[in-house]
Amino acid sequence: MNIDLRHLRCFLTVAQEGGFTAAGRRLHLTQPTLTRNIRTLEQTLGVKLFERSTRRTELTEKGKALQEAVAPLLRQLDSALRDLQKGEKLRIGFSWGLPEGLSRLAARFSEETGVGVEFIRCDTPQAGLDTGEADLGLLRSASIPKGLRGVHLYEEDRIAAVPASWRLAERTELDWADLTEVPLIINTVSGTTFPDMWPAGRRPTVGAECRNFDEWLEQVAVGLGVGTAPVSAALRYTHPAVRLVPLTGAPTVPAYLAHPSHGAHPQAARFAHQVWQAAGELHP
């Protein structure tokens, strides 16, 4: 027989609630949808499961028999499915600077689904998605790379990181255009600032290149050049030899939570969607 689990769950909920209206609220289904599911189940089985009147809904003898048989089976199935999820992990890759509030959303997700969420630092262009180390990646880029899909979380301002020994560090504010006059430190792997972001003919020279945030900070500290980064990351990773100077006129840094378009972890899209829905709780 072609009976879906949703038909049986709808049947049990109506039986437990004693009516379609209460069952619909519990299942978050409209009454017509719930009625169609019950009718489909009755037609497939060829028996009447409920006696309906304008005042109440009661199980028939066949309905009572089905409830007694199916209820323990579905409880056993739900228990087996929960056991399968135990120990399952959803790995979130990041290169630096997780937004405040993301760990709280991850804990909420784990409580709801039974799937643990762990954060792993991956110094790769796609925060571990490109190497298979992560199931989702927190990306700071102009757009989501090809082969990935995801959600846009927020836009973040930039701040300038200046060697503390430079006179430029005495400034109370820098403009994006001011950076064309000084060497720029480039994080080629997970950075967000590159010379081609300035107009042709007015681009800064490259003072040094590096491959992760720690190297970037150290190269600024020794005076090889100036860097820019999202405000949250720069404030979180400070250095006594680096001065953080407010930056005006700079393009913002988008933040995305992305996963592979194909072959993604079964819970990846669900987690990304829940984080997107609660993006207002995130603070860069």
**Which tens digits make up the pLDDT trace of 144-169?**
999 999 999 999 999 999 999 999 99
User: Both 164 and 245 in a single domain?
Assistant: yes
pLDDT at position 3 is: 86
pTM as predicted = 0.73
User: Both 172 and 215 in a single domain?
Assistant: yes
> Looking at the predicted structure, is the pLDDT value of residue 142 above 80?
yes
The pair phi, psi for residue 156, each rounded to 5°, is -125, 140
User: Both 22 and 75 in a single domain?
Assistant: yes
Average pLDDT over residues 185-198: 95
**Which tens digits make up the pLDDT trace of 226-274?**
999 999 887 788 899 999 999 999 999 999 999 999 999 999 999 999 9
Token output for 207: 């003072």
Among the candidates 42, 59, 85, a domain finishes at 85
Share of the chain above pLDDT 70, in %: 100
User: Both 55 and 116 in a single domain?
Assistant: no
Average pLDDT over residues 7-19: 94
CATH for 106:
3.40.190
> Looking at the predicted structure, is the pLDDT value of residue 85 above 90?
no
Euclidean distance between CA atoms 20 and 16, whole angstroms: 10
CATH for 247:
3.40.190.10
pLDDT at position 182 is: 96
pLDDT at position 253 is: 95
pLDDT at position 245 is: 96
Whether the Cβ atoms of residue 156 and residue 192 lie closer than 8 Å to each other: no
- The domain of 108 spans 89-149+260-281
- Closest C-alpha among 148, 157, 151, 187 to residue 272: 151
Q: Which amino acid is at 14?
A: V
User: Both 74 and 94 in a single domain?
Assistant: no
Q: How many domains does the chain have?
A: 3
**Which tens digits make up the pLDDT trace of 192-217?**
999 999 999 999 999 999 999 999 99
